[in-house]
Structure 1
Amino acid sequence: MSLLGYLLHSRLKGPIICANVTTHSLYIGATDDHFARNYTVLMSQFICITLAYLILRLILRPLRQPRFVCSALAGILVNAIVRGNATYFATLPKEELLLARTLGVLGTTYLQFLTAVKADTTVIYHTMRNALIIGSLSMFLPFALTFLVAHNLSLPGMKHEYSQFFFITGLGFTRFANVVYAFNELNIMTSDLGQLAVSCSMVCETIVWLLMFAGAYAVAPRVLFYCVLSTATFLLLIFGIIRPVIMLIIQKLPERKPVSEFFISSILVIALVLASLTDMIGSINLGVVMFGLVIPNGPPLGTTLSEKVELITMEILMPMFYVVVGFNTDVHSVDLKVSRDTLLLILLSTLLKIVGSLVAALCCKLRLQHSILLGLMLNIKGPFDVYLLNRYLFEDIDKKTYTVTVLSQVAITAVVTPLIDLFYNPHKRLSGSLRKSRRSMQTHPSDRELRILFCIHNEDDVPGIISLLQASNPTVASPICAYALHLNELVGRATPFILPYNKQMKRTKSKRSYHIMRAFENYFGNSNHLVKVKPYTATASYKTMHEYICRLARDESVPLIVLPFHGSQEMSNVPNVIALRNLAEKIQAYSPCTIGTLVDTNMRHCLSKSTTFSCKVGVIFVGGTDDREALTLALRMIGRPTVSVTVVRIIFHDVYKDIDEIMENKLDNGLIELFRVKAGADLCSTYHEVDVKDSEQAISKIQGLKNKFNLVMVGQKRSAGSVFSEETMLNWSENPELGVIGDLVASSDFRGETTSVLVLRHYRDPKGSFHHHLNVHEGGSLLRRAPC
């Protein structure tokens, strides 16, 4: 049901007694036996609903059913079994259910709060125009046409004349909390289309609030004044007092220390107080939702709230909510002949919502497939729709209509969710959107600005990155734009985001990135403005962080991403090392550009040894696309007086080459010749060729280069025929992700304490079923600098 209906009911009939107050009366004059019975019934309900949910979750997992569907079916199934077979529970008076109802209401309240905390309202500003068009049409079209059809139908189960109006309004309403709740589970909250759907749901919420004021004015013009006054006072309290206090407290939190339990408990109590206040004035849980939206969804506060509250809410409180749903749902009472018109309206509203979204999305120049998917996304139902129905059960509709509506919402979600999950696969989204926007160092013009995306985990990565920028020889004709992206692991299920550093600071007042970004700002000032720095922060789990990095590289047309290598860290934090290595592997698999892995040992000392930057760069060139990327970057370094570049080409003789390898060799020779021409005019650059017969000789020659360079650059893989069989040699490599030669020069025996290594890898097509062709011109990139 819509919020308008509840507001009008509150004005016409007076305040509705909430479950908490009613539950309180349960204990007045209650005996010890009654208390014991309440406890026994509550535990029995919890055990039954939990077991039913786990069984259904296991059975329905292959069908990709969401948690809402499994939980609702578990509640209905347990209720059907209890009513039919258990004599003890069959005679259970309704008063025994009040404790479960109270816990269920508490669970939905905190779930709405957590959903609002995880959401980010800044997303709507980046998709404002499309969201207004799609959100408005997807709501008004099903409402108008369904209302016209309903005029010719006699809907059973409506207790009042205006109940039909409220019922139809609720059918065409997309709740913001349901969309965020479902998208977090589907892991599409960070996608372009997912964020557009969230924006559309926020537009729908706004329209409903406007309808609330219009309904209040229709009931009595005087009522409108009190509605506006109470809403304005509440918003002033939230944004004028509570939010500044929370931001001030976050700013003063100690770095890298947990949020105090007192602060978390205070926030949870304030959430309930605000929910109660707004519930008294007729706005269902407006307080808890608005309070959640003003809390930053990243670390430290948003993440801590998710960690501490979500488990209890989802695993203890919400099951009791579905117990109440099952108790109110009587499947045996449904008569399809009587409920035929109600089912027709529900189906019509669902189809019209898809059509409205489809037409509006096509007008916004979205692709047909994405337009249909968007219509499906806006039809997702969830626990908050059922929560509103519970509030209206004995007010507007009878139990039969309630049962039909709940079953229809479960059925719609059971059909829509697998379709979204099947046709909006994250790997397909990522590889398809990046396929036609690929770039490399070889294709980048030498007389244009070079854009490099540096991923930074901690402060130790900064000196080596700045030294690499210095060695890359920024000039007036070809400056460098460095995108410094600080990666923060997101713990819990809060919404990940990527933002420019200044916007992130305004939003969370976090100091996690302060020292890192300050170092880059100082370097920008000392580089005579030849290096432009654009700082960003990304907060996400390592499992999905590659999506945000690759998307930023695509949007900013970056030809090179540089990652710090952490494979050789102390093994005391094995899970962190594994997570970082998996992240690097995913970035390499889906990157739209060249990837450079920096094993930093000595680059950080190139600036500290003297007042003048000095660096010796060596390139080990065997052949192939990856080696040509390393040589292209070395070509750029030629010309800086304090940087010497040496290329060592290893040539295998008497090796059979097929047609592809012959063509690769021609490309190698062309780039080598270009380097020799530039090196001839530069006294600091040299070129050497080394003839070898087999891989053992090649490895011996490479080991002879130990301690001769500050930085060694090499490609990850190369075309060297059967002599350099990487598939066989990688079996004994310590870090196979660096390639055979990369692993050799990155070993501690070769690097010692004087040499850093940069391993470059040209982009490659994703494998297998991840190929997915998309039109990169479809309405531009929906995602800009919003949370991803």
Structure 2
Amino acid sequence: MNNSAGGHQRYPTESCILLPPKINSDGLLREFGDKDYKWLDYASPRLQLIIVLIFVLTQGFHYVLKHLGLPIMTSQIIAGVLLSEAVLPKQWLGIFMSEDTVQLLGTLGEFGYTVFVFLSGVKMDISMVIRGGAKACYLAVISTLAPMIYAMSSIVMFSHHQKELTSIFYISPLFYMTSFPVIHCLLIELKILNSELGRLAHSTAIIADFLAFICIIGVSVVLGTIQGIPRYVVIPELGTILCFIFTVAIVLRPAMLLIVKLTPDGRQANQTCIYAIVVVFLISLRLIPEGLNKFSLMVIYVLGLAVPHGPPLGSALVEKFECMATGLFVPIFVTTCSMRLQRLTLDFRNEMVKEYAVIASMTLLVKFLSCLGPLLYKKMHKPDAFSLALILSAKGIIELAVYTFMSDGKVVSPEVYHAGLVFVTFSASIVPVLVRKLYDPPRKYAGYQIRKIMDAKIDAELQIVTCIHIPNNVTSVINMLNISYPTTETPLAVNVLHLVKLSGVAAPVSLSHQKRSKSQSGYWYSENVILSFKKFEGNHWGAVTLNAFTAICPPELMHDDICTLALDKLASLIVLPFHRTWYIDGTLESEDHTIRNLNLRVLEKAPCSVGILIDHGNIRRPIHSDAPAESYSNVAMLFFGGNDDREALTLAKRMARNKKVRLTVEQFIAKSDKGEVDWEKILDSEVLRDAKSNTTLKIHRLQDSKNGVNFQRLESWGICLLQKI
């Protein structure tokens, strides 16, 4: 029929709709008894089967590939390829990939990716753009501008047609941009988020991501000019973007900061406020102007940036939604991206594919060299410089998502999408493997002689690093330090490290409370801990020097902060709380396997002696320095021999100088010991002989005849028990 208004001819279309739709089935078992019933004719079983296949294939491949150092994203892409048209037989493809299943999977995946982008913005500290440091700033600028200039000049030089020029201009930012969410995920995968290299990469990625944001807007304006779009169309679009950012900055951001300000320190944000932010997030894509549609994901990212990172608001949002997004929806999204593959081999006969491969590869090489050059010029250790350049050149889920959306929008051809998928997969797979080979975080301990309490002079200041997890640790540690006899003749330098689990913040935070004021971010985390130790320092004025620190990082990386602080302070002893706690009546209160694993990692990598403080509930009561004269602390030292026991005995002798401490050393001797003398026994005898000169110290020798006692095993333990009468 003819349309009189526009003169355009329209043709009728026919569609077949089955009503009611087949959604929920009667179960798989019915198929064995009913020939007319097909279990996979229903939408819900098909969707569930596809999701199960995605996770089974992903975890199966990752179980093998993780031993090669490949990330889980590689396994997700391989799983998608196996479920794609390029591999799956057509008869199976017709069963699994019905139109409604594809649409629902795509919706789930896109929603998950949207949540991932939003949470990435929530966790990002935008102030790092300003205070990222000179090295991070110039590295971000050089590593963005140099490859961008090369990419733009190459595109203009190689592209011979208007269509090719426009298409490759659209995807050109993917060649030179450094995406913060990709770098953050990579650093977590490599477990170097709070290392020196990881912190520099993190700061650089934040600044480079901000520059990429500006570049994408600039490329959009250039594309509008190339395509001949009038200025009265391009300028309003650009103005709409700037107005949206301005609105977020002057309305949403201050409102959320007000919520944070009204929330008492240490309390959770009001649930109504949290769900209000969620509502704004969910409806934002339907309320934004039409001019922002092609920047929809950028809009979501900006909304995430408006949320103040960290507690109480940012942490609450991350804790509620990150597990769902990264554990369920993002793996589905990555897999469905590679399920779009139509063939396994690249078509290099296609001119666009050739141009894309050359420009993308050369731009990535220029980006790598532009990162590497300044680092080598600044005399950075070569393996570290190569590792940082590789990290900043990595590609990941952000680039994969942009390729996918452009392919779905017919901006790029399936052949170019195939090349982009290979490009992202290769980068995401090879970078973690190479970085693990090049970068060795424990290298900073190489050549460092482990410091011991025995090596410190008895009258010298003893440097101690003590770790605090929960409030109960404070009293236990202070009581132990009280008994350690801090005086002006035998001073203690106590470095208190409050360990806080990272939540709602992308970058790990290390705070030195000697350099920061209460008004600055992160103080309230450790305020009560600092006040308790300040009081302890005041009770021992001139005998105790206190330094307070807070480390906010993932639990699996806390050991690096502890060992780094011990290394920087030249500490002789690290005091760690035990992973079990007891009530005062001796019954078990709690057991934390995370703390246990942390203690094991510290024992493995510590640059000094390590003591595990076991609190059975009876040393949580404060021991005051002004206690009555008749009040004593009994200290029992169980001496089995060996290097650890000699360390423990050296600390016990320091305690014995306190007139309110009664020290008893119980020396255990195996009955099977026939008097053989070796170097270890000579050292043990020398330490014990020196201890006998102390009149307040008693030494008992016990010979055990029980065959069940394994003294070979017990020799590796040094035990110092504290008990208050």
TM-score band, normalised by shorter chain: 0.7 to 0.9
CA distance in 2, matches of 1:322, 1:638: 63
How far apart, CA to CA, are the structure 1 residues paired with 2:16 and 2:540? 78
SS where residue 575 of structure 2 aligns?
A: strand
Superposed counterparts of 1:458-607, under 5 Å: 458-476=470-488, 479-488=491-500, 497-500=509-512, 513-528=526-541, 530-540=543-553, 542-567=555-580, 569=582, 576-600=591-615, 601-602=618-619, 604-607=621-624
Change (3 A) 1:82 1:492: farther
CA deviation profile, 1:694-724 (whole Å, cap 9, x unmatched) = 445xx9xxxxxxxxxxxxxxxxxxxxxx999
Give the C-alpha shift of residue 498 in structure 1. Answer: 4.4
TM-aligned CA deviation for residue 375 of structure 1: 2.4
Counterpart of 2:678, as a letter, is D
Distance 1:367 1:234 in 2: 42
The 10-residue stretch of structure 1 (81-90 or 68-77) with the greater mean CA deviation from structure 2? 81-90
Q: Distance in 1 between matches of 2:436 and 2:284?
A: 36
| Match of residue 367, structure 1, among 377, 381, 406 | 381
* Matched position secondary structure for 2:165: coil
Write the letter of the residue equivalent to 2:325: T
Which of 58, 61, 86 matches 1:59? 61
Q: Is the 8 A contact 1:621 1:650 kept in 2?
A: yes
Q: For the residues of structure 1 that align with 2:517 and 2:288, how far apart are their CA atoms? A: 30
Tell me the alpha carbon deviations over residues 348-398 of structure 1, each in whole angstroms, 9 at most, x when there is no partner. 233333322222222333221122222222233222212222333336422
- 1:214 is displaced (CA, Å) by 4.9
Classify the secondary structure of the residue corresponding to 2:485. coil
Q: Does 1:657 align with 2:662?
A: no
Structure 2 distance, partners of 1:213, 1:429, is 38
Tell me the equivalent position of 2:112. 107
Stretches of structure 2 lacking an aligned partner (at least 5 in a row): 1-14, 25-40, 226-230
Q: Does 1:234 align with 2:248?
A: yes
AA of the residue aligned to 2:163:
K
Cα distance in 1 between the residues matched to 2:368 and 2:417: 24
State the match for 1:44 in structure 2: 46
Aligned with 2:361 (options 347, 365, 383): 347
- Matched to 1:84, the amino acid is K
Q: 1:629 aligns with which of 647, 650, 664?
A: 647
Aligned amino acid, residue 407 of structure 1: V
TM-aligned CA deviation for residue 208 of structure 1: 1.9
Q: Distance in 2 between matches of 1:650 and 1:87?
A: 73
Instruction: Report the counterpart of residue 403 of structure 1 in structure 2.
Output: 418
Closer/same/farther in 2, CA of residues 541 and 408 from structure 1, 3 Å limit: closer
Residue 76 (1) aligns with residue 94 (2): no
After TM superposition, the score normalised by the length of structure 1 is 0.72
Query: Structure 1 residues 300 and 667, CA, compared in 2 at 3 Å: closer, same or farther?
Result: farther
The answer (yes or no) to whether the contact 2:372–2:386 under 8 Å persists in 1 is: yes
Sequence identity (%): 22
| Partner deviation per Cα, 1:202-252 (whole Å, 9 max, x = no partner) | 121122233356557766696666654442332223432223314533647
| Equivalence for 1:734 | none
Whether the 8 Å contact between 2:173 and 2:215 is mirrored in structure 1 is no
Aligned to 1:784: none
Aligned to 1:189, what secondary structure does the other structure show? coil
Per-residue deviation, 1:107: 1.4
What do you get for the CA RMSD once the two structures are aligned?
4.5
In structure 2, C-alpha distance between the alignment counterparts of 1:89 and 1:645, rounded to whole Å: 78
Mapped partners of 1:561, 1:648: distance in 2: 24
- Greater mean deviation of Cα atoms: 174-183 or 33-42: 33-42
The number of aligned residues is 668
Q: Partners of 1:536 and 1:517 in 2: how far apart?
A: 9
Q: CA separation of 1:315/1:593 partners in 2, compared to 1, >3 Å: closer, same or farther?
A: closer
Distance verdict in 2 for CA 1:594–1:658, change over 3 Å: same
Match of 2:403 in 1: 389
Cα deviation for residue 403 of structure 1 reads 1.9
Within 2, Cα distance between the matches of 1:556 and 1:296?
33
Does the C-alpha gap of structure 1 residues 620 and 251 become closer, same or farther in structure 2, counting only changes over 3 Å? closer
Q: How far apart, in 2, do the equivalents of 1:99 and 1:687 lie?
A: 76
Q: More deviation in 578-587 or 605-614?
A: 605-614
Runs of at least 5 residues in structure 1 that lack an aligned partner in the other structure: 1-28, 680-684, 700-721, 731-736, 756-788
**Shift of the alpha carbon at 1:51?**
0.4
- Give deviations 1:3-39, integer Å, cap 9, x for gaps: xxxxxxxxxxxxxxxxxxxxxxxxxx99663855899
Partner of 1:194: 198
Letter in 2 for 1:668: V
Aligned to 2:158: 153
In structure 2, distance between residues paired with 1:205 and 1:364 = 23
- How far 1:177 moved relative to its partner? 1.2
**1:470 counterpart SS class:** helix
Once residues 250 and 178 of structure 1 are traced to their aligned partners in structure 2, the CA distance between those partners, rounded to angstroms, is 34
Contact 1:53-1:70 within 8 A present in 2 as well: no
Could you tell me which residue of structure 2 aligns to residue 442 of structure 1?
454
Deviation at 1:171, TM superposition (A): 0.8
Counterpart mapping for 1:106-505 below 5 A: 106-119=111-124, 128-154=133-159, 159=163, 161-212=165-216, 214=218, 227-249=241-263, 251=265, 253=267, 262-273=272-283, 282=292, 283-293=295-305, 295=307, 304-318=316-330, 321-322=333-334, 325-326=337-338, 328-331=340-343, 334-338=346-350, 339-393=353-407, 394=409, 396-421=411-436, 423-424=438-439, 429-430=441-442, 433=445, 436=448, 438-445=450-457, 448-476=460-488, 479-488=491-500, 497-500=509-512
Deviations 1:404-453 (A, max 9, x none): 112221122122233334555xxx52375476263222333556543322
Aligned AA for 2:497? Answer: L
Shift of 1:608: 8.5
Contact 2:479–2:619 (8 Å) recurs in 1? no
Q: Which moved more, 1:127-136 or 1:538-547?
A: 538-547
Deviation string 1:515-544 (CA, Å, 9 cap, x unpaired) is 433322322333335423333344555544
Distance 1:197 1:240 in 2: 29
Matched to 1:329, the amino acid is: L
> Contact (CA 8 Å) 1:247, 1:509: kept in 2 or not?
no
Residues of 1 paired with 2:124 and 2:287: CA distance? 23
Would you say the 8 A contact 1:42–1:100 is kept in 2?
Answer: no
Contact 1:618 1:646 (C-alpha < 8 Å) held by counterparts? yes
TM-score by length of structure 2 reads: 0.77
